Amino acid sequence: MPEKYDVVIIGSGPAGYVAAIKAAQLGLKVACVEQWLDDSDNMQLGGTCLNVGCIPSKALLDSSHKFADVRDNLAVHGITVKKADIDIPAMLARKDQIVSQLTGGITGLFKHNGVTPISGVGKVLVGAKVEVTDNKGNVQVLDASNVIIAAGSVPVSIAPAPIDDEHIIDSTGALMLTEVPVRLGVIGAGVIGLELGSVWRRLGSEVVMLEALDEFLPMMDVQIAKEAGKIFKKQGLDIRLGARVIGTEVKKGKVEVTYTSAGGEHTELFDKLIVAVGRRPRSEDLFSSDSGITLDERGFIYVNDNCETEAPHVYAVGDIVRGLMLAHKASEEGVMVVERIAGKQAQMNYDCVPSVIYTHPEIAAVGQTEQELKADGIECKIGVFPFAASGRALAANDSDGIVKMIADAETDRILGCHIVGPSAADLVQQVVIAMEFGSSAEDLALTVFGHPTLSEAVHEAALAVDGQAIHIANRKKR
């Protein structure tokens, strides 16, 4: 007889490991199945986020930003550095050490909370059973009262630019480059492309980004996207919109890329080419045909608002289901599901999920954009405050960007906040909390913010919603 668990979780990324720990804290017997192996064939917890996603990319973003600061931005402070050098192997070693520390931390948390880690590829069978095949081909079946699928996502590949892991690489390969390419091509100017392009631009690469869409960051508020585009252009990122790649060829160690745009067909030569056109759900071979689980037309597992699949007692969370592919969204879905399994009436508020692009300056948002509200016919009022008017930002020589606050024209309830600027990821969280409590723009306007802080830009944007900002000239309300 297979061993019985209250919950079996497939995947140990942010959705899976958080759900596993929370389930154990609630007194449930939990197993977590993970197929990721390190170079020694030992199970590696943490999923894409910790191993080749969020964490290593942020390590490189921070290292490269510090290097660029030393090289380009210290003279204004009266600090002279004769020559700044970058040690790429040392930078990569630091990234790997951080990853190792955090993945090892999950192992320790599993042990502390009594979660059983199981190495292998998981597959959901009918009746909430999970078949696990390890790397040696051994098979076992786990019997579960409930199953949570948290298998995550993988990079999207495109036929015109097949990955060879040497000249043409995906986001994982871009985290492992051992030297700075003289000329770097990036297919895709979305979140991943911008972050990776920023890393290598700061380190000295000439970076050309080829984006098939005609609009820059269409998922962001238009005003914020335009402001960000100006900043990135000033930083030296060559972002070409409406550029559709139709072919690539490796010639003498270089990558020749052919693309079309409004001006016709063009060819560019790069030392390396990163394919960063998005991610897709890792849904292949995850369940048997008779399991009752269904996929939508894009390969996402179909779930309801509570992340229940069409198979009884089987749930799916994170990148493998509808919605934004965000680690924090995945984690909170995992928590919601195990709390519901434990009998709690937990729900997920998808209206208050922030999104962040970790360039510098950062781009962060929560709630609806101005264009979305207009499309829905919702009357809104808007307050904008530039970091150029922030004393703290000016003192730090980091004053690019704006804060944009959007409130309902009738009720004054905050509907969205969009920021491009220093520490945007942390600043937007203040508005996330406000929105979670149903705050109005006036609530934030009446709140005391410390001085001098970057947070005052959020305060001033809230004041500006009703034309009451102090440190800028307010636009006359019609």
* SS3 category, 215: coil
**Pair 442, 466: CB distance under 8 Å:** yes
How far apart, in Å, are the Cα atoms of 78 and each of 65, 70, 477?
19, 12, 43
How far apart are the two ends of the chain, measured CA to CA in Å? Answer: 74
Annotated catalytic residue, options 65, 112, 451, 471: 451
DSSP letters, 253-308, are: TEEEEEEEETTEEEEEEESEEEE-S-EEE--TTSB-TTS---B-TTSPBP--TT-B
CA distance 195 to 86: 19
Task: Tell me the helices (H) and strands (E) count for the chain, helix number first.
Answer: 13, 22
Q: Is 418 a catalytic residue?
A: no
Positive or negative, the Cα torsion across 114, 118, 119, 120? negative
Q: Positive or negative, the Cα torsion across 289, 291, 294, 299?
A: negative
Residues annotated catalytic, as ranges? 451
